[in-house]
Amino acid sequence: MNTHYSSHARPLSDIGLKAELFLGRYPSISERELDELIEIFPHLPILDLALMTADERISAKVAEFHQAHRGRLKTPKAALLVLIAIFLLVPAVTVALSWPG
pLDDT (tens digit per residue) in 1-46:
444 344 556 789 999 999 999 999 999 999 999 999 999 998 898 8
pLDDT band at 87 (very low <50, low <70, confident <90, very high): confident
CB 23 within 8 A of CB 37: yes
Rounded to whole angstroms, the Cα distance separating 74 from 99 reads 39
Mean pLDDT of the chain: 84
Nearest to 20 by CA among 68, 53, 67: 53
Query: What is the pLDDT at residue 46?
Result: 86
Nearest to 66 by CA among 82, 87, 42: 42
pTM: 0.66
